[in-house]
Structure 1
């Protein structure tokens, strides 16, 4: 593929005019980009139910099992903004393919891991690959499909697969582990990586910023260090509590570094993050909504996993069936979300999604220990996912609209950072609340009540924050 130094989209023919229907090549490009995003989302949750088996096989202590998740979450969340910016400058296609190769090789290493050190090293390298794939894949998507029906449809499919990946990961993790052992989960990711890597080079063309400004090194160091520290603190706190000295130190350090990042960016000649862009209402409030919907919905999945297995006594397979129904609702909603946005507008859909997610999560407050609780969990979680998908699609459109192609990598880096931070933040915070009660059911209800309250507060803030922006898409 030819490499140019313009801000041309990866499929320039899609640019002008922009028909509502996607052509064959555009569909193939979308399939490849969404498959990569789905693969990363799958990795985020596929090991959750496999950890006890994995630990016994590799000789990892129960106290160290959380590192199987944290080793991936740290680099995948911490380096997103940095790699999104690097891709803008040096080529999104090039970085995307590099990230795919790194992720695939690391997945193979994780499959063959012979001891805990090899496995955790592989997970960390997987996280680095994910930190490259996610922002570059999203920026290729938004620069390929112009604002309007095409981008709304593309983001709808991408958002659906992202949510499905997290949910299906829980289902597939248990199923594969029971049938073939935990290594099959990593082998699945390696195989998926090979397939995407084989298809991508022939479909994607290069795009980058029209010039190559200097990388803001102080900004890169402070934001990456800050994100790494915060993610470490929250991931560790999920397993061991917030009272540990390393958790407190990491949390304080993370906040200080992120504060320093803001100060650095306000003075940098060529900042890594444009503060004027962050002051755009669509960018700021869109990302807040996205972070919130991911944090709160992933928490619902986690809490219901505890409820169904610990209180209702369901097997991992039957628990997976519950989330399989939720996945069906997510798929159908994601496919139709663009039509909802076309009728209601992006802002209205965003707010409606937050409120629907809150209302159906509130239904789960009536969970009991009897058989009816299983059906209530299935119905509430599945319908809450409708609102969740509305938010995912509309916030992606909101936070990337009205920006030039040269800033799409940064904008999508923020979008994907919101997703990853949301997936990381919600579970440790609310699971700590759930475990604060001696009665597990009471603790789950408390955490769900806070979940609902957060959604309602953020919905109110977003409604006020976007009141003058009209219809961003």
Structure 2
């Protein structure tokens, strides 16, 4: 019989994974239901994408800030606030009849899910011990996103004409998961499974004064990301594409804001400890985090694979509805194989993350997605669903097999104090990959379409294939020494207050040598296997 502690562990995993399903559920439901909702509200066809666009834009823009807030003021607090945010705005959406108000509510709604992903990642990373439980938790977290999207597609097709039900389901689920979170989530620093009888909490302290939080960095990053995503959205919808005046104006402004953000983060890192606030203030993103072993390479791989995966998922919807004239409900049914495939791959990923080299998992998952993209590009739309697209649907969620590995790797590399930040960077990467990928695919489709819609879709398919193939090449070039992620020990990225520089304690190194803020090792590179069976990473890379 399960003990109370064991029940609490699994309720924590369910509440975190369950709550993170909701953003992708809403996204999937809107993707299918928007044509019907738009016709009911009198929305022009050219404006149909704006509810999804603004929801994703706000959600992606606030991820970094939410991750910093969670690491600074408490992950439990931020997570519970995110679950409370959802019903407050999904219920008005259920009964909204005005298109402008509907779009505005979708934008505001995006802030709540932004709190869930980074805080949830930090909670699972900090409170669970290494091993099967943590591996299963991150597998569940990975499964939640594709499952939520597919359930959203299904419900969007079923309830398109009565869209209030879609949002009321989201509100009820948010209340349920929020109540579960209040009951079972650990306090900040608390271990759900103590490593010894006397160690129930960690020595991580939060709750820094409000003035010590990097509000300037948060504002610069927020404005830069919002403007960049807005420019991408406008490039995909404007008849002039990338040549539109608004796009050409927003891109340099967003680049300047993001450059100012990076400069500000470096300035905070170097500032002297002349006051108590200066000693407490930490950069929103410690510059040294990019020198953590293979962290940047992992984000690059995630960016490339998710760019192809999410873009092709969207174009599969267009293929079914625009080319094959499939009804919304039938379109949703055609995505159902992705549920079983995604769940199975996440389960397999959670089981083997402590047994199989992460490089092999990344190659296998990327090959699955690349094969799916090739099938999409080569298939004839007159063929039956079973002849081609069924296989494509089964293979498309290939990245799910390495989702647990890359999430665990990112959190362990930067350490428990920055686990929520790692989660936010991971989710920002997937959001930017989706936005940039769709913008590029829209341009490819417009350029490749010559009397046939399918010629443009084939161009999109080959582009998505190339991103997965490039991800494999990046993995082969950078991750050959990562080893088995499930057996890694945690590293740490912390600011050295005396020198104002970031030091990075490498995970899984027996001699504890560190890498300083300029990326150079204090000793020689490492090529031997440590006691955990994980090959150490050359600190210079």
> TM-score surpassing 0.5?
yes
Listed one character per residue, the Cα deviations across residues 182-237 of structure 1 (whole Å, up to 9, x for unaligned) are 22222221121121122210111321651427212332122111111111122233
Match of 1:238 among 231, 236, 239: 236
CA distance in 2, matches of 1:135, 1:46: 23
CA distance in 2, matches of 1:295, 1:192: 29
Deviation at 1:105, TM superposition (A): 0.5
1:377 alignment partner in structure 2: 389
Deviates more, 1:327-336 or 1:344-353: 344-353
> Quick check: 2:349–2:403 contact (8 Å CA) kept in 1?
no
- Flag the 1:71–1:462 CA change in 2: closer, same or farther, 3 A: same
SS in 1 for 2:232: helix
Match of 1:226 among 203, 224, 227: 224
2:159 alignment partner in structure 1: 176
Deviation at 1:37, TM superposition (A): 0.5
RMSD: 2.0
Superposed counterparts of 1:240-319, under 5 Å: 240=238, 241-269=241-269, 270-319=282-331
CA distance in 2, matches of 1:435, 1:349: 35
> Structure 1 unaligned runs (5+)?
1-12, 15-22
SS in 2 for 1:369: coil
Give the number of the structure with larger relative contact order, counting CA–CA contacts within 8 Å between residues 6 or more apart.
1
CA distance in 2, matches of 1:427, 1:171: 22
CA distance in 1, matches of 2:41, 2:368: 43
Deviation at 1:323, TM superposition (A): 0.5
Match of 2:65 among 71, 82, 101: 82
SS in 1 for 2:82: helix
> Quick check: 1:147–1:401 contact (8 Å CA) kept in 2?
no
Listed one character per residue, the Cα deviations across residues 124-159 of structure 1 (whole Å, up to 9, x for unaligned) are 221111111221122112222233332221111111
Listed one character per residue, the Cα deviations across residues 256-293 of structure 1 (whole Å, up to 9, x for unaligned) are 22222222222213211011112223321222222233
CA distance in 1, matches of 2:475, 2:216: 31
1:354 alignment partner in structure 2: 366
TM-score between both structures, scaled by the size of structure 1 = 0.90
CA distance in 2, matches of 1:428, 1:84: 26
1:4 alignment partner in structure 2: none
CA distance in 2, matches of 1:249, 1:279: 33
> Quick check: 2:301–2:474 contact (8 Å CA) kept in 1?
no
2:188 alignment partner in structure 1: 207
Deviation at 1:447, TM superposition (A): 0.8
SS in 2 for 1:375: coil
> Quick check: 1:347–1:472 contact (8 Å CA) kept in 2?
no
CA distance in 2, matches of 1:126, 1:397: 28
> Quick check: 1:326–1:382 contact (8 Å CA) kept in 2?
yes
- Flag the 1:375–1:315 CA change in 2: closer, same or farther, 3 A: farther
> Structure 2 unaligned runs (5+)?
190-203, 270-281, 487-541
TM-score between both structures, scaled by the size of structure 2 = 0.79
CA distance in 2, matches of 1:471, 1:325: 30
Superposed counterparts of 1:147-166, under 5 Å: 147-166=130-149
Note if 1:398 corresponds to 2:393.
no
CA distance in 1, matches of 2:154, 2:457: 21
Superposed counterparts of 1:66-215, under 5 Å: 66-178=49-161, 181-207=162-188, 210-211=205-206, 212=208, 214-215=212-213
- Flag the 1:85–1:390 CA change in 2: closer, same or farther, 3 A: same
> Quick check: 2:30–2:156 contact (8 Å CA) kept in 1?
yes
Listed one character per residue, the Cα deviations across residues 319-377 of structure 1 (whole Å, up to 9, x for unaligned) are 21110012111111111212233332223212321223213322322211322465311
CA distance in 2, matches of 1:310, 1:431: 15
SS in 2 for 1:272: coil
SS in 2 for 1:143: helix
- Flag the 1:108–1:390 CA change in 2: closer, same or farther, 3 A: same
2:476 alignment partner in structure 1: 463
Deviation at 1:248, TM superposition (A): 2.4
Deviation at 1:169, TM superposition (A): 1.8
CA distance in 2, matches of 1:70, 1:172: 20
Which has the larger Rg? 2
Listed one character per residue, the Cα deviations across residues 32-53 of structure 1 (whole Å, up to 9, x for unaligned) are 1011000111112211122222
Listed one character per residue, the Cα deviations across residues 223-256 of structure 1 (whole Å, up to 9, x for unaligned) are 1111111111222333333232222222222222
Aligned length: 450
- Flag the 1:27–1:352 CA change in 2: closer, same or farther, 3 A: same
SS in 1 for 2:483: coil
> Quick check: 2:55–2:109 contact (8 Å CA) kept in 1?
yes
CA distance in 2, matches of 1:124, 1:143: 31
1:18 alignment partner in structure 2: none
Superposed counterparts of 1:429-448, under 5 Å: 429-436=440-447, 437-438=449-450, 439-448=452-461
- Flag the 1:261–1:414 CA change in 2: closer, same or farther, 3 A: same
